[in-house]
Structure 1
């Protein structure tokens, strides 16, 4: 009994301690909860607004603001392309902006600027009429009609019920508001859009700037217009840029968007402006807009400062370019006036000049003669792009490639002699040179421009080493592929690699017959561009090294003082390939080209053998048939010329093509242009040396 009582007493004592421990635990929890409540109160009172902003933030939007484009200079540092600043008014719409909001902005802005209404459409005016006459517009539908239509159908029906009378009641002031609203509606949210960037006066700029607080999203800024300092000279190859309405065009949308461009941003649309867009466009200013869940902009942050685009130093000598343009036009005009009846199809004179050792293009000239029409008199136009886009039969200028193909394929040697006389194979017409030349080797064949020598090279490459008059040849059609492959090593029939977005390569015929291969061997089958011919002769002049032609010499950092900035990147010559031909064969063809310009029987020696320097090259004449309704209407000639100088250390190479010259009315215009451009080049080089000394 005693023991049992002690156990009960012990349990009662232990039980009496539990409420104390629970009380302590509850007290601690109370203290912690109180501290939490106090902390929440502090957060709410002291940082509640900031915390709410953080909670409300839903999205960051980054805007890219363009900077002035890089400038362009010629090889001697003369300014070619500049920027002219002009006032502009922009609109950066907030997210989910509504038509009535844009209308309010347009109505205010119309008080401060003038905006032409020539681009507004009937739909623009109808939308405006509905916005300003909503009750009347929708009141033209019955309740039954409204119940049967969804929102889009209802709006379309309202549009259809707007009459000409309604639109005729719009005043000139209304139409100006419509024109402004049209621009506002085209803007992309949080992205600056040009509302007016042409003809903005100082007064408009200042007035709008003074009233910016009245128009959400409107701002004033400076836009840039390209200034071609040298006028039309070389303008074709400078290219153009899009306007703000066009923005990014065509297939390059994704390319530019992945490089932080805006869709409505102006970009290079052609030639050098397009080729070097990412260099010229510079580093855009990047701004981040932080918005809340109501699409209100909470704050704006500068992520990246803008930097003007880098400048291009071109390989072009603008003074030489201008003079070559003038020479081509003068010589073209002379023969058109001298033989107007015979030259009714003559239009173009094409010239390319480049440095064979570096690929630097010095001049690209394309002069086109436009005959008089009822609308306008005759005139000459700079269409220099034809030097890389238009392909013409080159005639005998490519015989150097034919001789080298014969050497390397093993079908001829330096000692090979063919008897130049008219020849005929089965199912073809008679083929001959311009006269019967008798026995010729490779040197005299180049000097006198023998067609027959080249015919025999073609026949031998086709597999038949014997010739019997009017007999069939045992011909391997694969000879076309073989000879084309040799030609392609010179850049004939393939892209030259010039630093432009596009260039033509000429047309490749189907081939297959020995007669066509014989035509190919004398430049009478497949056409080439003036640039391809210039690269071809440069490759011969440069001991077989084919260099990629280029129009940009250096990329420079922009400068503040108008002078050239520091060099960012100097572009070095790029070798595309070396001819798969022995050096002795290349030297042999160089010797042949020397004799064309300087030999006693050279086809151009009368023009070039008495100069103050020694030049070399190859002449060419190709038949050019004019077809009409499937029939030959007239027969003309392409007069061509390729060359380089000085012979022993070439500084400059060139090509000349004058297509569709009337028979016996060309007065060797190709020779005259070639001589004058070479003389001009060396005269200018001498002047430059004197100035430097």
Structure 2
């Protein structure tokens, strides 16, 4: 019994020791918590609350575009916007509450406009949010058992009656329209709720109450502005809308370059070609949010800056005049055409500096004929100057003569007799028998026979009437090679996203090879013809045509240019494999064609003082229209073309004109009329600017640099 009492007396002691130890541990923990709360409570709470960093990229305006004289042709106009970036975990009822709050400050439109925005489904979704439990009771468990979430939701909406939809007060349409926009926003990407016709009052009211509108922000955005309206728009190009965002086909590429999905990017023309320069650097802001997605800190990681500016080679004043000239002449010519032969609908022009490749103007007009109403309109299709390919006719004879001289099959000054040729079973000749011609007068008078006989000799053949031709192997490739040197049949290299390279005839026979030499077989673009004649004008250097002259840093001054970031220098693609003495003879032939009696363009240019040179062209072009019975008729039309430059002794402007499908045998001179009009316009503008002391951007820049150099020397 005594032993038992001894054991019992030890149990309370051990328990007391255990309780005491536990007490000490708890006391230590409480003490530590107290220290944390007193000394570090505020920091600890802040650390707990900070759960995530989010970086937002704010778009900046694109770079502007100026013409060669510093006139703004593409600008940005401010666009005030109200945007929504939904916090994570936001629920439909949260967005409805936000829409109701936001509706106190903005309007989404008048009654008629709201009726177009708010559809029946939007009204049903609004009713469902307010009456979810009631609507859910209308669908049994058996009905929804095998349905997906989306199918079940649609069934619930279908159970909402027309009377219930009509019971929604019209004043709620504003709320519904706003919520519809809120629902389209994706996490961490600002979605524009309203930017069209937003008033200053709305913008200011929302800005003042941002603390009451979670996720809502006010921003200053931009839209492209075109002071010269439609002029040169085909080449300026377009950009995507915020709704379109980056193209899906290239989405991975753009996202890798720090674009957001709803960023606007260039999708055609110069906007696309120079996207990396025009886009600018988006402002990067880091938002720190707590666990309730409330913003607790904001940090600007990178300041935004708008894109760099482009100074174009285009003279916008000349461009406008050229557009009007082409439009006027095209309308006049179509009015002269017999109705049954009315296939004429286009006219295209390129003007460029043959020494630098700078494109001064590029135009193309399309006569859109509504055959039912007979009400035509002329619209800008200037993109066809680099994409539409047409038979060039005799304009390419300069390349043919140079090839014949360089291949040593024709001698300078050698005379041949221009008469009808009997090639196998075909008669070939010039527009009339021209008699004796040499390399120069063949260009002056546009002899086909000279070109045909040159082709015979290059092909290793001698002309014998009615004898079948058997050119030596590689003759056609030699023709192509020599023409390619001038840019005929190959890319010009112009700084645009796409250009056509011409249509090359396949499986040519000797007869069509002869046609090639007079521009009656392969087709070329108006830009290719401009590059070709520029190559002759500048003594054999093929220069890449370009539309951008300089890249400049953005300026803070309105309509002012920033400092030069990059000059687009003259890019010589190749020097033609022709001796200079032969080039000089072709240039003399071109001069005679415009300035000497008997020349094909003499009657048009005989009275001008700017000393032009060039070559006219006419190409047969057959059309095969069908009548109401489906019968095909063969109708012959003509492509009227022209290339040239001026002055002949010191060329400063080169040009090409293409007018396809002109009615035959009506004595048209539209190619010559357009050519004279555009040269007149160029030299008249030059004279006016000289009298006013107006210089282009590059000349002004050079003058500034010279002045700075003089000051440094002093």
By the TM > 0.5 criterion, same fold?
yes
Pick aligned residue for 1:470 from 462, 466, 469: 466
Distance 1:257 1:86 in 2: 25
State the 1:182 CA deviation: 3.0
Give the total of aligned pairs.
658
Corresponding residue for residue 67 of structure 2 = 74
Cα distance between partner residues in 1 of 2:156 and 2:365 = 57
Match runs of 1:620-659 below 5 Å: 620-629=617-626, 631-659=632-660
Alpha carbons 2:461, 2:471 under 8 Å: kept: no
Q: Which residue of 2 aligns with 1:668?
A: 669
> Quick one: distance in 1 between partners of 2:138 and 2:591?
89
SS in 1 for 2:339: coil
Which position in structure 2 is the counterpart of 1:400?
Answer: 398
Whether 2:448 is the aligned partner of 1:451: answer: yes
1:307-328 residue CA offsets vs partner (Å, 9 max, x unmatched) = 1222222111111111112222
Q: Spell out the pairing of 1:15-26 with structure 2 (5 A cutoff).
A: none
1:181-212: CA deviations, max 9, x gaps? 33223223222221111111122222222332
SS class of match (1:83): strand
Does the 8 A contact of 1:637 with 1:660 survive in 2?
yes
Does the 8 Å contact 1:321/1:365 carry over to 2? yes
Correspondence for 2:512: 516
TM value normalised by structure 2: 0.85
Contact 1:391/1:528, CA 8 A, preserved across alignment? yes
Q: Which whole-Å CA distance do the structure 2 matches of 1:553 and 1:615 have between them?
A: 26
Could you list the runs of 5+ residues in structure 2 that have no partner in the other structure? Answer: 1-26, 695-714
In 1, the alpha carbon distance for the partners of 2:29 and 2:578 equals: 89
Kept in 2: contact 1:511–1:517 (CA 8 A): no
Offset of residue 610 of structure 1: 3.2
Cα distance in 1 for residues equivalent to 2:228 and 2:597: 43
1:439 CA displacement:
3.7
- 1:614 alignment counterpart: 611
Aligned-pair CA distance for 1:362: 0.8
Q: Secondary structure at the match of 1:642?
A: strand
- Which of 521, 546, 553 is equivalent to 2:549? 553
Unpaired segments ≥5 residues, structure 1: 1-33
Normalising by the residue count of structure 1, what TM-score does the alignment of the two structures yield? 0.88
Q: Which position in structure 2 is the counterpart of 1:602?
A: 599
Q: Tell me the alpha carbon deviations over residues 128-182 of structure 1, each in whole angstroms, 9 at most, x when there is no partner.
A: 4433332233222212334444534433443454565555555544444343333
8 Å Cα contact 1:420/1:438 also seen in 2: yes
3-state secondary structure, aligned to 1:586: helix
Cα deviation for residue 575 of structure 1 reads 1.4
How far the C-alpha of 1:477 sits from its partner, in A, is 6.2
SS in 1 for 2:624: strand
Q: Is the 8 A contact 1:343 1:665 kept in 2?
A: no
In the alignment, is the contact (CA less than 8 A) between 2:277 and 2:308 conserved in 1? Answer: yes
Cα distance between partner residues in 1 of 2:652 and 2:614:
14
Q: How does 1:283-682 map to 2 (within 5 A)?
A: 283-291=281-289, 297-339=295-337, 341=339, 344-372=342-370, 377-414=375-412, 416-426=414-424, 429-461=426-458, 463-476=459-472, 478-562=474-558, 563-629=560-626, 631-665=632-666, 667-682=668-683
Check conservation: 1:477, 1:512, Cα contact below 8 A: no
> How far off is 1:75 after superposition?
0.9
Task: Describe the SS at the equivalent of 1:380.
Answer: strand
Deviation at residue 353 of structure 1 after TM alignment:
0.6
Taking the aligned partners of 2:381 and 2:139, their CA distance within structure 1 comes to 59
CA distances 1:63-101 after superposition (whole Å, capped 9, x unpaired) = 211122222221111222222223221111223433333
Residue 666 of structure 2: SS of its match in structure 1?
coil
| Alpha-carbon distance change, 421 to 174 in structure 1, aligned in 2, over 3 angstroms | farther
The secondary structure found in structure 2 opposite 1:528 is coil
Cα 1:150/1:269, change in 2 over 3 Å: closer
Of 76, 84, 96, the match for 1:91: 84
In structure 2, relative to structure 1, the CA distance for the partners of 1:324 and 1:138 (3 Å cut) is same
371-380 vs 670-679, which moves further: 371-380
Residue 434 of structure 1 deviates from its aligned partner by: 0.7
State which drifts further: 489-498 or 529-538.
489-498
